[in-house]
Structure 1
Amino acid sequence: MAQRMIRRQLRMLWSDVSGQRVLGVGFATPYLRPFLAEAERVVAAMPASQGVLPWPPEGPGMTLLGDETDLPLPDRSMDRILLVHALESTEQVRGMMRELWRVLADGGRLAIVVPNRRGIWARLERTPFGQGRPYTTGQLARLLRDNMFTPVSSCGALFLPPTNSRVMLRSAMAIENLGCRWFETFAGVNIVEATKQIYAATGLRQGKRRGYLPVAQGFSRSVSES
């Protein structure tokens, strides 16, 4: 039921990804399936600290194991990037966000799903969203702006508290609709969509790794000068 509620909001954000390349980072595979039939390509990148699982069970594998700060993908190669169980658990927030900026195509969209600091789900460790650092929408917006993204929309999901009650589960859709309309502050997860700010970037090379020095247009300077 939790997957269904989050998928519903993501599908409202990205109603059509025909011909686009979609990347999931973290444990995003349960939310990528709706895009398989229409996207040009779907890839799931799982951090080394988390481990990798084969997915999907049918057909060729679409998962890779990698460092979230050094993804094995070309610059501007993805049109949509979805983060689930990634931002709240990484110890290298800035490094990961800069890597996502590099991989995201100009005009692409980034969607982040994180536990809501004010919600019930973040307070219970027995749920997947009870791990790591929760965020408010304001904290997410500041984080995105600090890392060269512009927030464009936000919404909440999982207004139903974590429960196995069949009565509550049967009422999940009604509770979700009511929460989205009147009580968004208390959603279990926050979902924020952002676009990429276009800046000039100067490439840095350190051994085999690639780094990027973002510099606002009009203020570029050579690496040797910096």
Structure 2
Amino acid sequence: MSLDVVDLRTFYAAPLGRVAQRAIARIVRSWWHDTGGLAVAGLGYAIPFLEPFRDEAVRVIGLMPAEQGIVHWPAGGLSATALVEGGQLPLPDGSIDRLLLVHMLEPTEHPREVLAEVWRVLTPGGRMIAVTCNRRGMWARVDTTPFGSGQPFSKRQLQALLRETLFSPERFGEALYVPPFERRSLLKLAPFFERTGKRMALPGAGVLLVEATKQLYRPVMLRRRVPVRQAIPRLEPRLQGSFRRDNSFGDAADPVNR
């Protein structure tokens, strides 16, 4: 199920969306605290989390899938967003140092193709952060937010998907322990939910974050050598019957010799 850019923009402009943006951005920024001299890109609807990088990165762009739609960003000046196909990014090989995926893996039907294209455009040693809905969390069960659409992931599923597409997972994080409801009392307690959930490592966070590095070489699996059994038995010469002095074979019961 594809997400609509109008719904995404409306969600992040609402109080619950701003709470979600702050909780996720805090982790993203702590992992990428210095992007000076780097090229940063966001794929999906990542523009709410790209603003802190504009003052230090060489360039920051937002790539939005055609099924979702596009918005002008940043608000002032020239637009730094582009409409793309998830499996065909209009970027040269090895041109991006950091790439952030938000609302991208859950709605797509071909996540491996998306990650293969991300791998292509990342520089050697480049890093990506994928923000996905946690299938064990409450946010995946409520369809009133964008995190309730599409296919949620577990930590094990993300690990397997990344390794299949030649990424090495480095670290995982969780956010959105606050219930996904537009209630003022809950939103005021959002910082308490986040601190308590992380301190006690509670299960059921709404969002999983994973940082992974681009793996340059495909791992070679070692195979255990198994001795091959001899399929054909060893044959030895064997004489049948009696051997006569005239170097001819004969049978002891040959009537000629009687």
Regarding TM over 0.5, the answer is yes
Q: Of the candidates 193, 204, 226, which is equivalent to residue 175 of structure 1?
A: 193
In the TM superposition, residue 31 of structure 1 has moved relative to its aligned partner by 0.8
Distance 2:186 2:69 in 1: 33
Distance 2:110 2:141 in 1: 23
Q: Of the candidates 131, 137, 159, which is equivalent to residue 149 of structure 2?
A: 131
Superposition TM-score, scaled by structure 1 size:
0.86
In the TM superposition, residue 165 of structure 1 has moved relative to its aligned partner by 2.1
Aligned pairs (5 A) from 1:13-32: 13-32=31-50
Matched, 1:141 2:152: no
Q: Of the candidates 73, 80, 102, which is equivalent to residue 120 of structure 2?
A: 102
Distance 2:202 2:37 in 1: 33
SS in 1 for 2:37: coil
Aligned equivalent of 2:21 = 3
Aligned pairs (5 A) from 1:20-169: 20-169=38-187
Superposition TM-score, scaled by structure 2 size:
0.76
Bigger Rg, structure 1 or 2: 2
Write out per-residue CA displacement over residues 96-133 of structure 1, whole angstroms, 9 at most, x where no aligned residue. 11100000111111100000000000100111100000
Letter in 2 for 1:102: R
Number of paired residues? Answer: 202
Q: Of the candidates 181, 185, 196, which is equivalent to residue 203 of structure 2?
A: 185
Letter in 2 for 1:181: R
In the TM superposition, residue 216 of structure 1 has moved relative to its aligned partner by 5.8
Distance 1:80 1:69 in 2: 18
SS in 1 for 2:41: strand
Write out per-residue CA displacement over residues 35-64 of structure 1, whole angstroms, 9 at most, x where no aligned residue. 111111001110111111111111211000
Aligned equivalent of 1:208 = none
Q: Is the 8 A contact 1:25 1:82 kept in 2?
A: yes
Letter in 2 for 1:30: P
In the TM superposition, residue 164 of structure 1 has moved relative to its aligned partner by 2.2
In the TM superposition, residue 19 of structure 1 has moved relative to its aligned partner by 1.2
The structure with the greater share of residues assigned to strand is 1
Q: Which runs of 4+ in 1 moved over 6 A?
A: none
Which stretch shifts more, 33-42 or 179-188?
Answer: 179-188
Letter in 1 for 2:187: L
In the TM superposition, residue 185 of structure 1 has moved relative to its aligned partner by 2.6
In the TM superposition, residue 167 of structure 1 has moved relative to its aligned partner by 2.1
In the TM superposition, residue 166 of structure 1 has moved relative to its aligned partner by 2.0
Percent identical pairs in the alignment equals 48
In the TM superposition, residue 176 of structure 1 has moved relative to its aligned partner by 0.1
Matched, 1:198 2:216: yes
Letter in 2 for 1:33: E
Q: Is the 8 A contact 1:18 1:38 kept in 2?
A: yes
SS in 2 for 1:185: coil
